[in-house]
């Protein structure tokens, strides 16, 4: 099912806001006349926020903060759905998608890291730091459910920074060692062209089905997100080289930067 994710988050946010303000209007309309006079007097004394009385300020602030956190949570969920949708778009079969997800959840293994060329002490250090980071992420999510609005803002900020600076095994190991690690771990480490779109730059440049993409603009390609990241760089209209493997023979194709126009499968190839 295709999702219009670009409009989902704003719609949900406005839905929350509309429901909240609707409840305020309903509450005000049911207030007795003598209480309305009192509220009007309070509003005159507090013109900055006509929707709240002084006795309701803290409660309203809490509700607004809760709304903000709910929107942040929805944003995270939508980002996850976007990644899943993009994965489906760039994979030819749902069976292959299941394989990608299964491999992506494979636990880090020290022996595989060492076999891929990593020093034992370095492997221990990386695994420990990744484990500590994951624990802190879970801890922050728990604390956000327990704390007051001010504390939740602090925890939410820390969680965003933690996700932004997530430890990358690839950056720690380098492309070649990480490539070896993926293969040794039984994970996919290449992308293969499953089909070429008619009228696309890929068709014009000579791509064929079953071509395995090795690099784009001298950047090693190990997964479909690598292709996505590479094709949004550079100036539209300029050309760059793409190294491919076709029937066991390595060759180079020149392609214009921008959308390539291929459907991709994730495959496992010995480095």
* Listed residues 145, 161, 184: the one ending a domain: 184
Going by pLDDT thresholds of 50, 70 and 90, the confidence category of residue 2 is very low
Is residue 102 in a domain?
no
Is residue 96 in a domain?
no
> pLDDT by residue (tens digit) across 69-103?
667 666 655 655 554 454 444 444 334 444 444 44
Is residue 98 in a domain?
no
Check residue 237 and give its pLDDT: 84
Check residue 140 and give its pLDDT: 93
**Rounded distance, CA 213 to CA 221, Å?**
7
Check residue 108 and give its pLDDT: 76
Reported as type and span, the H/E element at residue 249 is strand 249-256
pTM (predicted TM-score): 0.58
Is residue 223 in a domain?
yes
Please report, for the domain that includes residue 229, its CATH number: 2.30.42.10
pLDDT of 132 > 70? The answer is: yes
Q: Are 66 and 133 in a shared domain?
A: no
Q: Are 81 and 9 in a shared domain?
A: yes
* Listed residues 154, 184, 214: the one ending a domain: 184
Is residue 95 in a domain?
no
Q: Are 186 and 199 in contact (CB under 8 A)?
A: no
Full residue range of the structural domain in which residue 127 is found: 107-184
* Listed residues 160, 184, 208: the one ending a domain: 184
> How far, in whole angstroms, is CA 88 from its chain's centroid?
14
**57-89 vs 224-231: helix axis angle to the nearest 10?**
100
Is residue 196 in a domain?
yes
User: What's the number of domains the chain is made of?
Assistant: 3
């Amino acid at each position: 099912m295709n999702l219009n994710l670009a409009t989902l988050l704003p719609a949900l946010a406005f839905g929350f806001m509309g429901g909240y303000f609707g409840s305020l209007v309903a509450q005000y309309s049911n207030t007795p006349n003598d209480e309305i006079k009192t509220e009007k007097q309070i509003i005159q004394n507090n013109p900055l926020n006509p929707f709240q009385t002084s006795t309701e300020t803290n409660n309203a602030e809490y509700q607004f903060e809760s709304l903000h956190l709910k929107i942040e949570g929805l944003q995270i969920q939508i980002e996850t759905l976007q990644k899943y949708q993009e994965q489906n778009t760039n994979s030819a079969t749902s069976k292959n998608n299941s394989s990608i997800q299964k491999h992506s959840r494979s636990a880090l293994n020290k022996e595989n890291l060492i076999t891929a060329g990593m020093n034992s002490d370095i492997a221990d250090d990386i695994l420990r730091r990744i484990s500590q980071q994951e624990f802190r992420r879970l801890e922050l999510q728990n604390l956000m459910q327990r704390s007051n609005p001010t504390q939740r803002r602090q925890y939410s900020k820390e969680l965003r920074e933690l996700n932004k600076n997530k430890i990358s095994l690839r950056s720690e190991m380098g492309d070649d060692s990480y490539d070896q690690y993926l293969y040794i771990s039984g994970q996919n480490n290449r992308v293969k062209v499953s089909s070429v779109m008619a009228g696309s730059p890929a068709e014009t440049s000579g791509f064929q089905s079953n071509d395995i993409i090795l690099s784009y603009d001298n950047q090693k390609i190990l997964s479909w997100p690598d292709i996505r990241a590479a094709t949004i760089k550079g100036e539209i209209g300029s050309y760059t080289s793409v190294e491919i493997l076709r029937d066991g023979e390595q060759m180079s194709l020149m392609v214009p930067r921008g959308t390539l126009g291929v459907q991709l499968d994730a495959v496992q190839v010995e480095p």
